[in-house]
């Protein structure tokens, strides 16, 4: 049985002050309503310590949205996984399409980060997904296969329990367009089959695959009802407790 895993990616939103207040309100709301999913929020780096003060002994995981591809050294502006670990952050989102699109991260760069995160004992949410042009050109499977093959190159089968994959079609992120539950499920099935081909049936069956791209209270149930959709990576709708709580409690 795969446990549902719902995550909030705050992107470049929320100061430390705002993040602390949000975390207090979210924790209180989750305690009151009860939630039966694995929960995570990913604040910006500088907001993480304030959020951790509130959430560190709670069931809500605090993750980073990115990290450097080196442990230390002359990499101006970067944040090392060791720095995150020292704060108490044990989960990192890697390969988000905004990192790929705006900051030139390739499958190879992301692969290096994934290997480093695993070496440092972190759990990874690895984002994959096609652009509209790729989908319209019939390249969905080709793109996903190479993101998975290259991104996970050198990842040992024994480390796969630390990997979650987030399928985020680029055209559905922040646009209000959601992939239909059927389209998302078929992409998730393809991802699961690819992982089975590269690893084993057992690993593929245990793999948590989140869907991301305009997930909201109004569509989460239909998405989560699909066999291969095991969670959600939520951007915009994770920025208010009012909108995020019904997503976290979709199964209550
Ligand atoms: P969105 O973002 O929910 O605002 O579409 C999802 C994501 O990019 O993780």
* 1 pLDDT more than 90: no
Give the nearest ligand 1 atom to 215 CA.
Answer: 3
Distance between CA atoms of 156 and 160, rounded to whole angstroms? 7
Give pLDDT tens digits for 171-229. Answer: 998 888 888 999 999 999 999 999 999 999 999 999 999 999 999 999 999 999 999 99
Give pLDDT tens digits for 13-25. Answer: 999 999 999 999 9
Distance between CA atoms of 238 and 216, rounded to whole angstroms? 9
Q: Report whether 11 belongs to an annotated binding site.
A: yes
Q: Residue 95: CB within 6 Å of ligand 1? A: no
Q: How far apart are the CA of 100 and the centre of ligand 1, in A?
A: 14
Q: Side-chain half-sphere of 8: how many Cα atoms within 13 Å?
A: 30
Residue nearest (by alpha carbon) to ligand 1 atom 2: 235
Q: Which residues are marked as active site?
A: 96, 168
């Amino acid at each position: 049985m795969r446990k549902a895993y719902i995550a909030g990616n705050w992107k470049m939103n929320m100061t430390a002050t705002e993040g602390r207040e949000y975390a207090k309100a979210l924790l209180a709301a989750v305690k009151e309503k009860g939630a039966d999913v694995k929960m995570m929020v990913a604040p910006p780096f500088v907001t993480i310590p304030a959020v951790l003060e509130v959430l560190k002994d709670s069931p809500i995981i605090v993750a980073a949205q990115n990290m450097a591809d080196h442990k230390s050294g002359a990499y101006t502006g970067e944040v090392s996984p060791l720095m995150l670990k020292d704060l108490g952050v044990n989960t990192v989102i890697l390969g988000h399409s905004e990192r790929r699109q705006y900051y030139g991260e390739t499958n190879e760069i992301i692969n290096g980060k994934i290997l480093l995160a695993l070496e440092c004992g972190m759990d990874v949410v690895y984002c994959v997904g096609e652009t509209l042009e790729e989908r319209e050109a019939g390249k969905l499977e080709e793109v996903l296969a190479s993101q998975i093959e290259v991104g996970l190159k050198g990842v040992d089968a024994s480390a796969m329990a630390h990997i979650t994959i987030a399928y985020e079609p680029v055209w559905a992120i922040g646009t209000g367009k959601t992939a239909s539950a059927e389209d998302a499920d078929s992409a998730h099935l393809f991802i699961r089959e690819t992982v089975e081909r590269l690893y084993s049936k057992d690993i593929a069956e245990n793999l948590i695959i989140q869907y991301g791209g305009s997930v909201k209270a109004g569509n989460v149930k239909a998405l989560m009802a699909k066999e291969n959709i095991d969670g959600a990576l939520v951007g915009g709708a994770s920025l208010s407790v009012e909108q995020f709580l019904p997503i976290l409690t979709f199964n209550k």
